[in-house]
A and B are shown apart, each in its own frame.
Chain A
C-alpha cells in the first residue's frame, strides 16, 4: 500500500453527487449561518449556558476541519447535527455515566424550531397536568427564575416549605414527563 498517491489533508465527505446544490463560500459562512441553531439545540438539552457553550465549541472545532465546502447547505446542517449528537452523548456519558438527553433523528430541517427543541410544548403539557401549587412553584423557579425566597413569599409559605414543594413538584413533573401518570 503506497501512501504517496494518497490525497492528504481533510478528506471531503462525499457519497452521492449533489445536483444543483447551493453551498457555503467559506467556513465562516458555515459558522455564521449555523452557530445559533447548534447552540440552541444543545442548550435545550443541557439547560445551562456554560455546558451549551462548551459543547457548541466542540461541535464546530470538530466539524469544520473535515467539512467539505462543496456540500450543500442541507448536508452541512445534517452533518453538524450528527456531530452535535455525538458530542452531546459523549458529554453525558462522561459527566453522568449515562445519557440524560439526546439529539434524535428527525425529518424536519435541523435549524427548524421542532428540531431545535420541543421543550416548550412538552413543558406546557406537563405543567397543565400538575396540581396548582406544584405548577406555580415550577413556573416561578424554572421559568421565571425567581429565587426560592421570592417564590415562598408569593405563595405565602416558608422558604423550607417552598423547597419541599419544589422538590415534590419536580418529582411529579418527571413522572408525568416520562409518560407515567401522576
Chain B
C-alpha cells in the first residue's frame, strides 16, 4: 500500500506532468490503469506535438547519417551491431521473428533436406535406448558429427545439430520445441525445417542422419573422427 504514491501519480497525470514512479499494489495498479484510460479518453486525441515530432525526426536523421551507415565500413560484426542496438530492439526483433513463424507458409519452404550419408563411415553409439524416451531431444557429439536424436512413433530419428547457414552449433529450446542457432537467430523444428530466420536467403533445412537401434543402443552412421 502506498496511498501517497498513488495520490501523487494521479495528481501528476491530471496536471499533465510526468508521473513519479512508486511501487503500487494490485489495487493501486488498477486505479492507475483506470486513471490513464480516463486521461486517454479525452476528446480530440492529439496526434503528437508538432514540435516533438519534428525534433524526433531530426534525431532519427542524425542516427541514420552518423551511427548507422547503410554499409558498415568499419570491422563491425553482427555482434557489434547487436550490442549497439538497444535491448528493446533486440527483443522486438525476436517478437517479429515469432510473428513470422506463424505467418510463414510451408509452400515457401526451401528444397528438401538431404540425408548425410558418408562414403566412409561406421555405426557409432550416440545413446542408450533408455536415454531417449518419447518426446525428448537427445544431443550427441561424435567429433565428426554432432546432432540430435529423438523418437518418432517409437523409431529413432537423427538430424544434424549444425546450422546450415554458417555452421554454428544449435541448441535445443525445450519449452519451445525448437532448435536455435546462437549466431543469427535462425530456428529449426525438431524435424529440421527452418522455422524462422533473418537472412537474405533462407538457409537449408537440417540434414537427417542415418540412425538405427540395436540391442538397446542407438547408433548413427558417421565418419570416424
* Chain A residues engaging chain B, CB cutoff 8 angstroms: 1, 3, 6-17, 27-28, 31, 35-36, 39-40, 43-53, 56-66, 78-79, 82-83, 85-87, 90, 94-98, 100-101, 116-117, 119-120, 122-124, 126, 138, 141-143, 145, 167, 170-171, 173-175, 177-178
**Minimum distance in angstroms from A146 CB to a CB of chain B:** 9
Whether A8 lies near B34 (C-beta < 8 A) is no
Residues from chain A with a CB closer than 8 A to the CB of B30 are 174-175, 177-178
B113 located at the interface, meaning its Cβ lies under 8 Å from any Cβ of chain A in the complex = no
Residues from chain A with a CB closer than 8 A to the CB of B21 are 94-96
A-B contact count (CB 8 A): 239
B128 located at the interface, meaning its Cβ lies under 8 Å from any Cβ of chain A in the complex = no
Residues from chain A with a CB closer than 8 A to the CB of B100 are 13, 15-16
Residues from chain A with a CB closer than 8 A to the CB of B95 are 82-83, 85-86
Whether B17 lies near A50 (C-beta < 8 A) is yes
Of B13, B24, B47, the contact of A48 (CB 8 Å cutoff): B13
Chain A to chain B: the 3 pairs with minimum beta-carbon distance, closest first: A47-B36, A142-B38, A62-B89
**Minimum distance in angstroms from A93 CB to a CB of chain B:** 11
Of A1, A45, A175, the contact of B36 (CB 8 Å cutoff): A45
**Minimum distance in angstroms from A138 CB to a CB of chain B:** 6
B23 located at the interface, meaning its Cβ lies under 8 Å from any Cβ of chain A in the complex = yes
**Minimum distance in angstroms from A65 CB to a CB of chain B:** 5
Residues from chain B with a CB closer than 8 A to the CB of A79 are 92, 96
Whether B33 lies near A100 (C-beta < 8 A) is yes
Of A86, A124, A177, the contact of B33 (CB 8 Å cutoff): A177
Residues from chain B with a CB closer than 8 A to the CB of A120 are 40-41
Supply 12 A–B pairs (Cβ within 8 Å), ascending by A. A10-B81, A11-B199, A15-B97, A17-B108, A35-B57, A39-B48, A40-B46, A50-B18, A126-B34, A142-B39, A142-B42, A174-B27
From 143 to 168 in chain B, residues with beta carbon under 8 angstroms from any chain A beta carbon are: 166-168
Whether A40 lies near B88 (C-beta < 8 A) is no
From 1 to 35 in chain B, residues with beta carbon under 8 angstroms from any chain A beta carbon are: 7, 10, 12-14, 16-19, 21-24, 27, 29-35
**Minimum distance in angstroms from A44 CB to a CB of chain B:** 4
Residues from chain B with a CB closer than 8 A to the CB of A7 are 200
Whether B47 lies near A170 (C-beta < 8 A) is no
**Minimum distance in angstroms from A34 CB to a CB of chain B:** 11
Q: Given known contacts A61-B60, A123-B38, is B198 in contact with A12 (CB within 8 Å)?
A: yes
Of B12, B33, B38, B199, the contact of A138 (CB 8 Å cutoff): B38
B122 located at the interface, meaning its Cβ lies under 8 Å from any Cβ of chain A in the complex = no
Whether B53 lies near A35 (C-beta < 8 A) is yes
Q: Given known contacts A16-B104, A39-B47, A177-B34, is B40 in contact with A78 (CB within 8 Å)?
A: no
Residues from chain A with a CB closer than 8 A to the CB of B24 are 96, 98, 100
* New A-B pairs, 13, CB < 8 Å, besides A36-B47, A44-B37: A8-B81, A9-B70, A15-B100, A40-B45, A53-B48, A56-B52, A60-B60, A61-B60, A82-B95, A82-B96, A82-B99, A95-B21, A174-B27
Residues from chain B with a CB closer than 8 A to the CB of A10 are 68, 70, 81
B49 located at the interface, meaning its Cβ lies under 8 Å from any Cβ of chain A in the complex = yes
Q: Given known contacts A36-B47, A100-B29, A145-B14, is B64 in contact with A64 (CB within 8 Å)?
A: yes
Q: Tell me which of B72-80, B132-140, B170-178 binds A.
A: B72-80
Cα A14 to Cα B45 in complex, Å, equals: 34
